[in-house]
Amino acid sequence: MRMAAAPDPARASDAASALDFEHEWHRASSEDGEAQVISRNVVRVIYRGGRGSGTADMVRLADDALVNVINCVVPRATRWAYVNEEPLIMLRASLACHVELRFGAAPPLVFDHPELTLACIPAGLAMTADIAAGARQQGIVAVFRAAGFAPRFGLRPDDLPPELQAALAGEGEFGRLASFPVDHRVAALVADTLDSRLRGEMRTVQLAGRVAELVAYAIDAMFGQADQRSAHLPRRRDLELAQAACARLDQEYRRPPSFTELARDVGVSQNKLKTLFREAFGVTMADYCLERRVREAQQLLLEASLTIAQVAERVGYEHQSSFTAAFRGQLGMSPREYRKHRAPFSLELPSHPVHPSHPSHPSRRPRRPRTG
């Protein structure tokens, strides 16, 4: 994978604010992509040919936020230049990436692994983003005007961690404010957003909610991280043990290990692990696995492509009767009753959103004359 070469001074005029919607998509399409204007706030850039593939949706959320939903490989190393006259906050929820940000003389900010990140971009100095050629870029990247960040989400300064408060006040330094591994919630949210088939401005509505949820996860994790740092060493160790057990159950909840085995692998007694887990997450390990299995079963039942017996097997039950009893215990109805609530029809959604000017858009179809 190659990063971009030094920027061409002749292209200094390409620098613009990272919130400049028009400039961003025009620049992307003029270099290697083909732009499709989906709606007034959504533009899709398509990469194809050579080593390029995939798409990047640029979505404007009013004038104070710009979101990129990225699932592409750019065909050649690219450097984009920015000049931000006001401080910005960047949110990244990446499943795959290889990007470097450079700001003045500060060390580069490298994004090359899955993570949920909030970063501070101060005002004043020129910034560049180097995108590697041939590397899969996959995730959601949002940039916010710092002054409008808290009001956008209905938050007050005292709702925020101190380091984020400083960044919003223009006192933060360039770099990550916080970074966390991508857990199953974030991975599922990003994957579902990448696969979304919502059209036009409904894509904007969806992304406003998805970005708000990611911001909530990141801020909540920042507070949790601060709690761990302030905890006494024994308490911090207890939290780490509970989190290690939870991470294991997140991977194996369909067929979880015995709690004796899990406690041995974590390095603590079974009784103590049960206590630590419940204190940390407010639920027993058994109930945690059960909730995860039932939630997955709900999704599979609504998809309607599997029989109930197949759903039971998929979520780790050998016998359909056991699955039915567990499902009824959680939701108060059987899997068969739950499945009756799914949509009685199938919507045929296009693989790409349809712009109103396109001949296939409903508004462009000829109307049948009234009779009678």
> What pLDDT does 207 receive?
95
Token pair, residue 301, equals 């039942």
Token pair, residue 185, equals 């919630």
Token pair, residue 327, equals 């499902």
> What pLDDT does 48 receive?
79
Q: Name all contacts of 202-209 with Cβ < 8 Å and 24+ positions apart.
A: 203/38, 203/39, 203/42, 203/57, 203/59, 203/353, 204/39, 204/41, 204/42, 204/59, 204/60, 204/61, 207/59, 207/61, 207/67, 207/69, 207/140, 208/61
Separation between Cα atoms, residue 201 and residue 212, nearest integer Å: 17
- The alpha-carbon radius of gyration of the chain (Å, integer) is 24
DSSP helix/strand/coil, 86: coil
> What pLDDT does 359 receive?
42
Query: If you classify domain 9-229 with CATH, what class do you get?
Result: mainly beta
> What stretch(es) of the chain map to CATH 1.10.10.60?
232-339
pTM above 0.75, yes or no: no
Name the packing angle between helices 285-303 and 233-252 (round to 10°).
Answer: 30
Separation between Cα atoms, residue 37 and residue 365, nearest integer Å: 20
CATH topology (fold) of 232-339: Arc Repressor Mutant, subunit A (1.10.10)
> What pLDDT does 14 receive?
62
- Beta bridge partner(s), residue 2: 133
Q: Which residues contact 69 (CB under 8 A, 6 or more apart)?
A: 56, 57, 59, 140, 193, 194, 207
pLDDT in tens, 160-215: 999 999 999 999 889 999 998 888 788 889 989 998 889 889 999 999 999 999 99
Separation between Cα atoms, residue 1 and residue 139, nearest integer Å: 19
**pLDDT less than 50: residues of the chain:** 1-13, 231-233, 343-372
> What stretch(es) of the chain map to CATH 2.60.120.10?
9-229
Separation between Cα atoms, residue 167 and residue 177, nearest integer Å: 8
